[in-house]
Amino acid sequence: MPKILSLKLKARKIITSGLEDPDEALLELLGKKSDMPTIKEYGNFYVKELRDLATKHEKKGMLVERNRKNGSALAYENAVNQFCYAFPKTTLDSLDYNTLMKFRTLQEAKGNSKSTIALYFRMLRALYNKGLKIYKITDNRPFNGVFDGLRVSATASKKKYLKRKGIRALEEMQHHSESTKKYTDLFLLQFYFGGCDLTDIYFMRKNQLVKGRVYFERGKTTSNTLIDLKIHPKAQEIINRWSDTKNDTYIFPWRKDQKGYQTFRNRYQKFLIKAQERAEIFVHPTGGNIGVKVARHTFGNLGKKLRIDNDILRELMGHEREDIDQYYKDKFSKKVRDKALFEIINYN
């Protein structure tokens, strides 16, 4: 009990100090601790730190960042809970290949997919690597070999996309309900904005629209790369249709709390599939349902089909350039980027 009380007191001091980096907080709280924590103890503390950060982001109005931290916390929490249900007493320094393979066997017996098991391993590996730094543990490389057979083949993991015919079908679709129209419009807006993520549109602010252009950073990355796109008339029409005239901050009127966004995202997926079925749209290359990421993959695929320069395409989509001299290259001019963007949107 005294040890627990001591940890609580130290945790309060860390919170009041304003320390925001989870790794630094772990080092401050646990770095001098003589006992090695279990995976569960260590993981639960890290999850709490991420959620505390999410709360701070929310208070600052940084809602995309809030969602990112909460999403990370949930992914870590799921992996830790799954592992510790079977191996609750495993500590960081006792984690080994045999234990991980037993965990894998249990997950396979439950019927979990290869991608799900691989995700659990990635989250556990990330926690383990953080623990190496904090506790100065000898790295016994317990994860070497555990991913064998879990990697999905290139064909099976090929990104889903629509051909131009599919985009045109959504653009010309006659809708029988406002909901189907709304969610189809948002999918198209993702496409018109360079295949941006749904979260970037959902939380988009009015001050991000300036003189016919939209500015944003991709919520799914940490590169802080500013995307600057000319607003196509088709995109402007959608914004005008659904914008909130009573709100001075956000473009769209939907709930901005975490649960509100998740509910919206689930309905978005549901109504997209309804629109797909009505328009008889085929998702390439192997079929299936339209997903939230299909707009992004469609934009990239059409850009490549039109032989848009790869670096221009990366700038439109918010990717870092991959070549070694990327830091010495200036961004392409607005004229060049705008031409490429409109060429993709107008492609028939």
Distance CA 175, CA 278 (A): 9
Render pLDDT for 245-269 as a digit per residue (tens, 0 to 9): 888 899 999 999 989 999 999 999 9
Token pair for residue 104? 């894998």
Render pLDDT for 226-248 as a digit per residue (tens, 0 to 9): 899 999 999 999 999 999 888 88
Same domain, 170 and 112: no
CB 16 within 8 A of CB 5: no
Token pair for residue 47? 């999850």
Q: Quote the longest CA-to-CA distance of the chain.
A: 71
Show the domain range for 195: 164-346
Task: Tell me whether residue 12 is in a domain.
Answer: yes
Structural domains of the chain, count: 2
Q: Virtual CA dihedral for 244, 247, 252, 257, nearest 10 degrees?
A: -140
Render pLDDT for 289-330 as a digit per residue (tens, 0 to 9): 998 899 999 999 999 999 999 999 999 998 765 554 444 455
Q: Which residues 6+ apart lie within 8 Å of 300 measured at CB? A: 159, 161, 195, 313, 317
CB 20 within 8 A of CB 53: yes
Task: Tell me whether residue 152 is in a domain.
Answer: no
Task: Tell me whether residue 149 is in a domain.
Answer: no
Distance CA 30, CA 49 (A): 13
pTM assigned to the model: 0.74
Same domain, 81 and 121: yes
The DSSP H or E segment spanning 235 is helix 233-242
Percent of the chain scored above 90 by pLDDT? 68
Same domain, 103 and 198: no
Render pLDDT for 184-230 as a digit per residue (tens, 0 to 9): 999 999 999 999 999 999 999 999 999 999 999 876 655 567 899 99
Distance CA 156, CA 250 (A): 39
Q: What is the DSSP letter of 323?
A: S
3-state secondary structure of 217: strand
User: What is the domain-level CATH number for residue 261?
Assistant: 1.10.443.10
Same domain, 186 and 37: no
Percent of the chain scored above 70 by pLDDT? 83
- Chain-wide mean pLDDT for the chain? 87
Task: Tell me whether residue 155 is in a domain.
Answer: no
Residue 56 has pLDDT above 60, yes or no: yes
